[in-house]
Structure 1
């Protein structure tokens, strides 16, 4: 096999019919499997070219039989006998070229192969049969040397991962790529922390994970276990066990794991041990972070995929409600302690949740609630803990949703609230967190303060007035502020500014002239009030 072939699917395992059909030398003939698709995993022991009417007498079993179809009997009985002899001897498959004698496979041949479960493959184009035998036989004969080379490659690959300080995700991903199998890292309570699928989907790989994992049973060494024949090995250090890594067969009927699979899995466990010692972040935190980021950014392939991933982490994914909470520490850097403390607080309260860092200094918390649980007391408790650790923190909560896949919306709302909350914003009198109803005009404009459209609007509305004050030493902007704050009441505005009514009227006329606005218009006063509030926000921040 070439260097890119996955470990565990290379020549240390029997070369299958499917493997041979995928080789470029045969693929050039445009092979089409007519019968026996389920038998394409049959091992190929040899390749035999024949133009005899009784090729089985020269076979020992496991051969891929190549023929141009020239010697095939004319009669149905003869065709059946031909196929029966191949099937009885254990031929791996029959490959017939549709170039010389036939341009479509005879019905009698198709029926006979289907009846005996013998894979029948047709070639639409001419293929050099001798070259096929040379390529396949070279692969088979080089099996032992290739196995040794690949084992060395496995060791070198995992050593390289260790030397560059690879994290657990990189290690598990490498194991899946080298083995061609699905690889899962789980903790001691059978929660799937990292899953790298191969030949399947995450949804299928992790479905009912905890139940299936517990049925697999424990073990102190590398072995195939459980009703699904998982290959598992523990991950531990100096007697302390942290979890285990499992390699899943692609299909229930797939052959047993080979020596290379065992090597890959054991080196995976060793490399994970080193990664755990190097990286201080617990695996559970990493798993929660990845799951939350996938939900927030909607990187899942489907809602079912999202539910399966979260359920494998111990989060009830159906039948309840979900709330997205953000804790912005306002420190600009990640800290492990708040993440750990908040998760512990939720576990103490018996609330299933995912807690993870979504960005430096910003933690995401996904609450999974069951009736009659209410989210407000839970968030209040979380906010109290967060503010106790970081008094400047801002805790924001999004809307309650009933579908796990919709939690992205809840987190988006929480993010909007956080962005609309300036540093030092006082808390509502009745709670320690912020929600959508708290966002008024000033906080909305605060969230949009860097938007050039807001800046351009502010300048267009007030620019000429600001320039006049600057050039003439006046303070018409303050006069306008008093007038707008008084909802257009000139007497109140004059009193607030310490001005006579005549002076106030004069200044208002000047403002109208400079801005080309009618201050008696409620709509235009609203526009100016928005612009003035935006100016305050931009200047403050």
Structure 2
């Protein structure tokens, strides 16, 4: 559910709850409406944040009570009054009426357009709807995975049932990944399991630990077919293990290893599919990208509105961040994959901060928010932002680059080379004259006054500049190039 608290927390809106307002996380927000009517309730369905500047309420005092009663009876989620027009501040009578009826009252600063509030609420509602859909798909995916034998838990549960034992899958640090499961899960001594895992994890896949303590037997053995084991099967049961039980544990370990290998192969294949899908998406081929994503496990979809995040760094660091993105954000509006040596993530705008929080050690450029059909533009602007990252500022958003002006769009090395080449034929006097000419929009008289020289001197200098550079300074394109070179040279200085 989206609440009024979620909207108030949106950055940049500056919405302020009135004194004595009820808890903001109570009212469920379904839409934003704007009305200056004294009785807007015929146009409300319930759950709206009603925005008004109070144009028809100047001089109101006792009238506020009836107004608030009507809104509360209509099921409005909150009332937002824009201050700075009809009312310089929230009227005390309105504050008291809202407090009495338990209606949330918000002050909307004059600098905040009502359309910005409506847009923010719409984005929240869209994200909430997408989250609900993702949760439904997640449940379906888990059921499908279990049916295909890729989920390890059913096998762990079955082993615990057959042996009347406590069974768990634990990670390399001994912490449970699945379980403990069984009729008496508390009988599995996790401290003992951690110690046994620590003792055998350096011995590879062939190591097995069997420990008897207080008449209980605990077996720990690695899971996997190749490489370093990441999971260990831990089984605890009363007494010792007879041969059938020992065989059951061995068989379960083999089956689990096959399942882990199948999952790894499937995950690698899905990664390749997602990487190719993201490559096509960033190239502007949305339809092909959706086909590939549908073929991958879970049938992921491209967000309707998205930001592209492009990340670079060491190969190992890219792999680690991709793992974190897949584990923590795969079901939360984020697609990630490796594309041409970069880690690319496509996320709903509200999840970009979560992506960057997991990107430690990488440089990241965040593109502008665009519809899915314009993902190519998002990828291009993300690339420009990535080009402007530094060791001191490893994350840059496109908006930061755009706000810095056109010079920020020129890569540093390219800008230095351009300025050096353009200005190479010109001495300091030529450059000073050219800068004054551009500053005064081509007025030779103004240049002469600025430099304290005769107009003929200015004319001769400009002619010499045109001869040396081969440019026509009356051409707007030539002036732009000259201005860019002078500005880049000034930045280098």
Specify the TM-score bucket, using the shorter chain as the normaliser.
Answer: 0.3 to 0.5
Larger gyration radius, structure 1 or structure 2: 1
Instruction: Provide the TM-score with structure 1 as the length reference.
Output: 0.35
Instruction: Provide the TM-score with structure 2 as the length reference.
Output: 0.38
Indicate the structure whose relative CO is greater, using CA pairs within 8 Å and at least 6 residues apart. 1
